[in-house]
Amino acid sequence: MACYFRRRIASKLSRVFERSEDEFISSLYAIPVSKKQQSPDFRLSINSLRLNGILPANGDLQTQTTALAHQLKQDSVVEEIFAGPGVINFRVCQTLLIQKVLEQLSKERHEFGMRSELFHGLKKGTTLVEFSSPNIAKKFHAGHLRSTIIGNFIANLKEFLGNNVVRVNYLGDWGMQFGLLGAGFQHFGCQEKLKINPLQHLFDVYVQVNKEAENNDIIGKAARDFFKQLEQNEPQAMSLWKQFRDISVIEYQQVYKRLGVHFDVYSGESFHQQQAQEVVEQLQTRGLLKTTETGTRVVDVSQSGDMSSYSTVLRSDGTSLYITRDIAAAINRMELYNFDEMIYVTDKSQGTHFQQLFQILLAMGYSWAERCQHVPFGLVQGMKTRLGDVLFLEDVLDEAKARMLRNMSQAKTTKDIDDPEDTAEKVGISALIIQDFKGALVSDYKFDWDRVLQTRGDTGVFLQYTHARLCSLIHQHGDGEEGTTDPSLLLDQRSISVLQHLLRYDEVIYQSAHDLQPKHLVNFLMTLSHLAALAHKDLPVKGSTPAVAQARLQLFRGICTVLGNGMNILGITPVEKM
């Protein structure tokens, strides 16, 4: 569809310039649907031809545009070609547009758009995405929630594009906090409570021991001792640590499951503890280590080598740091997975950390560090539940579900649903995700439950509602797939707008693949939902002739499929009833 038309136009351009068609494909884009009737379907930007060296950059832009428009000949597929400011517009045969898009929808369904030519230029291979990465015994804050859903989106997107994806959860499962936790547990811990509600109990113990340690030196010393035992792999300390870790992972997994998120590996900081020491030796051998006056070991990462910027990799007592473990983890992942790219998803406050990490890896001679990337995101303010601050991911999900359940019970439109709790949970989660994905990831935003859960406006609830409505229409009347559609039955403006909009699906995915921002896909799906609502209102199925009903059902089925596909990439499970 989009490819069919793009190729057709590219072939005209290739004849004029005597260059291969492929050189033009990515300069052609489908036009966003406008309220004006009869907007063109595709557009070519003359500037991009100049940037690609196809047209001289110093010529007069408008003269070049008009001249080229004259040279291109219309035909039965591309029916109209006309110049605009710095662009050439193409209108394709509408009957053919209807036919091609419907054909592709029936053929590809859940893989709609997946084989677009636009993706050919993208590198394929193994993508490692590291995300979520909470710290055991500490709060699972809004930042971890953001990392979880953003990382999941990136992993889904990369998978859709044909990459082999490894999803890694880099647990905060090592460090002084475990010294405190271990010492604390010996004083205030309770095996019974640990079994019933492990995350809460570990958190409580951690808070209590921290408070205690402030005025009680004995606790502080016990904590240091415990951590030292851990660092020396002392079996008793290790077994308690392992119990904390195992029990926490099981809890996390349950909550991730509610979110529809999974990981291929839980490989935390602890795993790289031993290797961190080897990293230090390697840095030493390469002459990258410096010793400060206080005895810490640092790597100078300043441009000028004057220590104006450095990164500490070893404390004076010989213990490793967060960055040391990250260096070890990266090297280990390369050995294990031989990745083509690695993506870290954390809040923007860790920007410098990752910059330094990549610099150090490069200095160590690991040129693959160039293929590592940090995707930063902004802060969420005011995410609270009725019980107060959010402590665990579970609290947020419970709150979203409870609120959604209440809204659903008040709504007149709610259908008899088999499992209202499950639906409320899925819709509630999609609301959280859409709210989070609407803007640029790096922006901060204020969280507000009422706004998040609105039915109208660009919310996740609205997306789910549109999807469910289409599902119920299809459920009642069939999916229009049994007959062949006569395209002329969909020549109305509502249908054309939807189909024109669908031409953009692969472009939008392409944009998201480039900057890893979900907002392009979110906007696309919102517009699709609005167009679907209009079509649903103006194009009745009931009461139409069988041929018209069938054609419309095929259109609605197509919208429903693409909506569902897009939602799945975003990490949203589409519901069929609500």
- Where does this chain touch ligand ARG (CB under 6 A) — which range of 130-138, 204-212, 304-312, 469-477? 130-138
Choosing from 12, 100, 139, 144, the catalytic residue is 144
> Could you tell me whether strands 297-300 and 310-314 are parallel, antiparallel, or unpaired per DSSP bridges?
antiparallel
Tokens 């547009």 belong to: 97
Q: Is 144 a catalytic residue?
A: yes
Nearer to ligand ARG, 148 or 485 (CB): 148
DSSP state of 295: S
Nearer to ligand ARG, 133 or 248 (CB): 133
Choosing from 141, 201, 426, 520, the catalytic residue is 141
CA 181 to chain centre: 34
Q: Is 141 a catalytic residue?
A: yes
Which of 344, 358, 437, 465: binder of ligand ARG (CB under 6 A)?
A: 344
CB 279 within 8 A of CB 328: yes
DSSP state of 172: B
Q: Is 158 a catalytic residue?
A: no
Which of 27, 94, 104, 133: binder of ligand ARG (CB under 6 A)?
A: 133
Written as one letter, the residue type at 26 is S
CA 310 to chain centre: 32
Neighbours of 368 (CB within 10 A): 16
Element (H, E) at 30: strand 28-30
Nearer to ligand ARG, 100 or 141 (CB): 141
Phi, psi of 548 (to 5 degrees): -65, -45
Written as one letter, the residue type at 574 is P
CB 269 within 8 A of CB 328: no
Site membership for ligand ARG, residue 172 (CB under 6 A): yes
Give me the DSSP letters along 182-222. HHHHHHH--HHHHHHSHHHHHHHHHHHHHHHHHH-HHHHHH
- Where does this chain touch ligand ARG (CB under 6 A) — which range of 127-135, 153-161, 432-440, 490-498? 127-135
Which of 27, 106, 248, 346: binder of ligand ARG (CB under 6 A)?
A: 346
Nearer to ligand ARG, 212 or 436 (CB): 436
| Cα–Cα dist 505/525, whole Å | 9
Site membership for ligand ARG, residue 326 (CB under 6 A): yes
Tell me the site size for ligand ARG, rule CB under 6 A.
8
**DSSP three-state, residue 313:** strand
Residues 77-116, one symbol each (x = binds ligand ARG by CB under 6 A, - = not), give: ----------------------------------------
Token reading at 477: 């009347």
Supply the minimum distance, in Å, between the C-beta of residue 269 and ligand ARG: 8
Residues 273-312, one symbol each (x = binds ligand ARG by CB under 6 A, - = not), give: ----------------------------------------
Site membership for ligand ARG, residue 170 (CB under 6 A): yes
What residues act catalytically?
Answer: 138, 141, 144
Note the residues at the interface with ligand ARG (CB under 6 A).
130, 133, 135, 170, 172, 326, 344, 346
